[in-house]
A and B are shown apart, each in its own frame.
Chain A
Amino acid sequence: MSSQELNNTSDPGLQPSAVPFWRDPDKRAIVFQVVALLLVAFVSYYLFSNTQANLERQSIATGFGFMEKEAGFEIGESIVEYSAADTYADALLVGALNTIKVSFIGIILTTILGTIIGISRLSSNWLLSKLAAGYIELMQNIPILLQLFFWYAIFYESFPSPRQALNPFGGVFLCNRGLIFGVPETHAAHAAMGWAFVIALAVGWGLNRWGRQRQARTGQMFPAVRVTLALSVVLPLLAWFAYGAPTAMDIPELSGFNFKGGVTVSPEFSALLLGLVLYTAAFVAEIVRAGIQSVGRGQVEAAMAVGLRPGQVLHLVVLPQALRVIIPPLTSQMLNLTKNSSLAIAIGYADFVAVTNTTINQTGQAIEGVALIMLVYLFFSLSTSVFMNWYNKKMALVER
């Protein structure tokens, strides 16, 4: 600080001549930065020119032109229609959707399981608490990839063939082709039920706003959450009855060596989902435990002293404070789960990385492929940090 002020003195003739430029932090900073930038530029140019020469010599095409070409490989499972005759762009889209599918379901299940284990860890029941602690310790200290291999091996080696499939309860079969279960036959009622559910959520959102405004005006509370929950069950049920309450089920049946009908969850997807959920849940459990413990005992006692009921204590006092501690590390765990889902390639689930890898092997365009992988995951990370910034700002407003 002081040296800078000395150098920036208004009298040009007096001080600067006494300080040579390598002693002047401001000028030295400029030199450092120019050197750093030049170094980066030089290394980039060197690598770029090497790459250019190599690509020319091996006659590998550059650019993203390959996206329009026919992919020519099948993908095991896909949400959208896909065949080998489609383009690489379609294949990559299928891969990205598969990544989103496993991450989305994984995030929901992980949050639920992690919360349960985290609360169990704090339970006054010694057995349950120790069991949860053992689970957390075990899962955190074994590499996720080994766990994925383990679950995949269980599916492939320990489960019987479809003919001797395990049948834990009606319409559900477990065999080395995956998990197969019955679903209701498609009916117009289902679309209506979906819309009814969306409407229930929208109404609930409106009720919540109105309830809070009314509370600000009159001080009376409105049980918006409970009403929304009730609505989201009742409205779809009404829609179902309105369409004549269809109950036909699509039950899987053994035909030849495999099942027909029902919904099949592939062993690859099941093993990946199971591994990711069990692994990440251990970390989430620790976060939930720390979050709940961060709310002081005095907070709960004070809330009870002013006469709140136990449900209100949890809802109005404990949770808002615990969530502020829980949400930021929780989001980073969710991001970890998404990044770890790239290990799908090791057990043959066609996620984005696996499809891109096949594309690289077929076209030889490694640079474009790796760049695509990085871009997609950076997109996930950056959107998460945008959310986090928004959340932190929102929380900061609540703070006094």
Chain B
Amino acid sequence: MTNPPVSNREYLKPPITEVGVIGWLRGNLFNSWFNSLLTIAVLILLWQIVPPFFSWAFIDSVWNTPAEACRDIEGACWSIIPQNISFILFGFFPDGDQWRPGLAMALMLGLVIFSRNRKHWKKSLGVYWTIGLIVMGTLMYGGVFGMQVVETARWSGLPLTFMLALFGMVAAYPLGVFLALGRQSRMPAIKTLCVVYIEMIRGVPLISLLFMSSVMFPLFLPEGVTIDKVLRAQVAIILFTAAYIAEVVRGGLQAMPRGQFEAADSIGLNYSQTMRLIILPQALKIVIPPSVGILLSAFKDTSLVVIIALYDVLKTTKVTLSNPKWTGYSTEAYIFLAVLYFICCYAMSNYSRKLEKELHTGR
């Protein structure tokens, strides 16, 4: 077979309407009369919303001025954030010592970023976290190395939000696994207890548990004994999250083929060996992505402690807004918080999706 000389070959370019910008526009935005109409409608809507918002947020706005300068401007008064940032982030933590929660949060962030990499999922990771948590606790509470003692009642703002979410998850996970195992158990009494607990908690809103911790729980304790308010809310969040984790883990347990149990039986493992060595390592691997989802909602749900008057980051923002100097700039403050929450939650949900893809190795 003889090829024609290269120079003689005719190169026909694809029609301009099929490739490049125009081709993409035709294919994705104007491929039918209905889609063209939709595109135009969406563009008009965006034109109505985006430019005014842009000029409100960026052009007519002020960024770091005293409150008085905000009174006579058209745009956003972002000044409320930098002027109150230390109170919004750290709440009632003593002014001179705010590097301590700052450092603790940086440490936590570092550990979280370190744990993202699956290569680091070893026994040493647990050791790092334990050391990290002890250091963080020391930084927050103080009392050693000349740091003044800061009672938990003064822990507020972002550290409180992170603490409630992190401990909520860490402590709820083992409890949730036990509840899930109990629900699968062949012992009727244990099974009933677990089912009643899980279904009851999942049936009521978190707010009712928080109420329970704040107004009902003090009645349960013997005279003279009091438990810290933050700790009570933390326990409520743990109990709540555990029920949801139990359901996720149950999904993983049910996905285990019968053969795994039978194989474990046949080599003579007892119940706890079967679970510890055979079933849970596989079942928990399946449920890692939905567990990150639970962590995500636990993180969002910590904001509910506002209602029982704990000073998480949402409450400190509200307190700032109740200062007459800054009243009326809620939109700006809430947008700042929304961005803060969004960054954290988006990172988590993205990570969960990535894990799902990576761990979907098939069996």
Contacts and interface: CB of A to CB of B under 8 A. Distances in A.
B207 A345 contact: yes
Contacts of B200: 374, 378
A127 B43 contact: yes
Interface residues of A, number: 59
Contacts of B205: 339-340, 342, 353, 377
Contacts of B303: 143, 145-146
A127 B211 contact: no
A366 B216 contact: yes
B215 A126 contact: no
A33 B265 contact: no
A267 to B, nearest CB: 13
B341 interface: yes
Nearest to A156: B330
A37 B31 CA distance: 67
B227 interface: no
B147 interface: no
A51 interface: yes
Interface in B197-231: 199-200, 202-205, 207-208, 211-212, 215-216, 218-223
B28 interface: yes
A203 to B, nearest CB: 35
Given A144-B300, A157-B331, A377-B205, A367 B219 contact: yes
A55 to B, nearest CB: 7
A137 B189 contact: no
B187 A32 contact: yes
A51 B219 contact: yes
B278 interface: no
Interface string A324-337: 00000000000000
A340 B304 CA distance: 10
Given A366-B216, A370-B211, A157 B314 contact: no
Contacts of B110: none
Contacts of A230: none
A36 B208 contact: no
A345 B29 CA distance: 44
A53 interface: yes
A343 B318 CA distance: 16
B355 to A, nearest CB: 17
Contacts of A357: 211
B342 interface: yes
B96 to A, nearest CB: 30
B204 A2 contact: no
A124 interface: yes
Contact of B29 (A126, A131, A374): A126
Contact of A353 (B207, B223, B296, B335): B207
Interface stretch (A147-155, A194-202, A234-242, A392-400): A147-155
A141 B349 contact: yes
Contacts of A373: 204, 208, 211
Contact of A374 (B188, B204, B301): B204
A340 B206 CA distance: 9
B22 interface: no
Contact of B42 (A50, A124, A128, A153): A128
A13 B200 CA distance: 47
A265 interface: no
A186 interface: no
A25 B346 CA distance: 47
A311 B260 CA distance: 47
A145 B304 contact: yes
A368 B262 CA distance: 48
A377 B29 CA distance: 46
A138 interface: yes
B184 to A, nearest CB: 14
Nearest to A145: B303
A188 interface: no
Contact of A50 (B221, B328, B337): B221
A54 B217 CA distance: 11
Contact of B28 (A126, A145, A345): A126
Given A149-B318, A150-B338, A346-B307, A381 B221 contact: no
B130 interface: no
Contacts of B301: 143
B131 interface: no
Contacts of B296: 141
A29 B43 contact: no
Contacts of B219: 50-51, 54-55, 366-367
Interface of A: 1-2, 25, 29, 32-33, 36-37, 40, 47, 50-51, 53-55, 57, 123-128, 131, 137-138, 140-147, 149-150, 153-154, 157-158, 339-340, 342-343, 345-346, 353, 357, 360, 366-367, 369-370, 373-374, 377-378, 380-382
14 contacts: A25-B271, A29-B186, A33-B187, A47-B220, A126-B28, A143-B300, A143-B301, A147-B338, A150-B331, A342-B207, A366-B215, A370-B216, A374-B203, A377-B204
Lowest 8 CB-CB distances: which A-B pairs, in order? A381-B203, A153-B330, A141-B345, A126-B28, A33-B189, A339-B205, A143-B300, A366-B215
Given A141-B345, A373-B204, A374-B203, 16 more contacts: A33-B188, A33-B190, A36-B189, A37-B189, A40-B193, A54-B218, A124-B28, A127-B39, A141-B346, A157-B331, A339-B204, A339-B205, A340-B205, A353-B208, A373-B211, A377-B208
